[in-house]
Structure 1
Amino acid sequence: MTKEEWYKQLFERLGNSKFRSSFHLKQKDIDYINEKGMDTIWQHAKDFIAKREAPAVIINDGKQTPTKGHPVFIAQHATATCCRECIRKWHKMQPGRELSEVQQDYLIDVIMTWIQKEMDKYEIKEHFDHRR
């Protein structure tokens, strides 16, 4: 299966989840992304995954990712990259083992893909809003 095929299936499944599909970027998140830039947001995602998801043992697993306060946190809940149990269920990575660099890079890419999709929706909406 190619990356494109996997992502297509993954995002369709996430979209069919009432919980996962309820997360969207708010205006303040979009403003923050526009102010900081996608490279900075990527670095934040990298840091959050490395510190909150990559360790083999996470004391507060299931509670380590807030549901608001940063665009990456919102994306983590939307993409099921918010805790090791969700990562196991949705991304087939077993808990109890430190995540490899490749696994971390994949999770970051999923998060950033979701954020880009949200930003693209915002751009389209903004374009149409200006035409009114």
Structure 2
Amino acid sequence: MTTKTSKGARPEPLDARLDAIGKLPSRARFHLPGRERTVAMTLGESGVRWYAYDVIARRIGPAKPSRDGRQTPYRGHPVFVAQHATGTCCRGCLEEVHGIPQGRPLDKAELNYAVNLVCGWLTREIGPVAKTRTSRPPRSAMPAVPENPTGAPRTGRGLRASKSR
């Protein structure tokens, strides 16, 4: 089994690498819960990829990350779950599962490798999602605010303020 960091060796295709990682008992137990699945579908592929790159670059990219081994929560965002499932959650797991040594910053190729693993795992878990974030309809498509039924001017304190006592 070769990895992205092996000099002179051809890197494994992403699917083969995800299959190999999925067979590891410590990684096979992770699945995407409903809330995180909804977040991933809402953000879309590009939003998840951007977030994954940002998180990996900031949290495990430096040579000596702060709180290494404890910096990635197990829930709260689909990228966190995917990091644990793919062994990209800390520098120790990166070294153990992927052969990327600790003690030096991740280079661009290693960052992209980790992001591709995370996004590939998420795609397997939820299937292909929209390329971009699903967003609210434009304001022009939203219905107008209904008029005050009493005809009194709005005071900002609700309808009670417009009634005379």
Superposition TM-score tier, normalisation by shorter sequence: 0.7 to 0.9
Distance 2:11 2:103 in 1: 27
Moved more, 15-24 or 92-101: 15-24
Q: Which residue, out of 76, 80, 83, partners 2:83? A: 76
In structure 2, what residue type is equivalent to 1:41? V
Deviation digits for residues 38-70 of structure 1, max 9, x if unmatched?
A: 101101100001100100011211001001110
Tell me the percent identity.
34
Alignment match, 1:129: none
**Residue aligned with 1:13, SS:** helix
CA RMSD, 1 decimal: 1.8
Q: Which residue, out of 8, 16, 23, partners 2:23? A: 16
TM-score, length-scaled by structure 1: 0.84
When Rg is computed on C-alpha atoms for both structures, the one with the higher figure is 2
Displacement of 1:103: 0.7
Moved more, 28-37 or 95-104: 28-37
Distance 2:111 2:15 in 1: 16
TM-score, length-scaled by structure 2: 0.68
**Residue aligned with 2:123, SS:** helix
Higher helix residue share? 1
Q: Which residue, out of 67, 71, 81, partners 1:60? A: 67
Displacement of 1:92: 1.0
> Number of paired residues?
120
Runs of 5+ unmatched residues, structure 1: 122-132
Q: Which residue, out of 102, 117, 122, partners 2:124? A: 117
In structure 2, what residue type is equivalent to 1:111? V
In structure 1, what residue type is equivalent to 2:109? V
Distance 2:102 2:65 in 1: 9
Displacement of 1:91: 1.1
Distance 1:75 1:42 in 2: 12
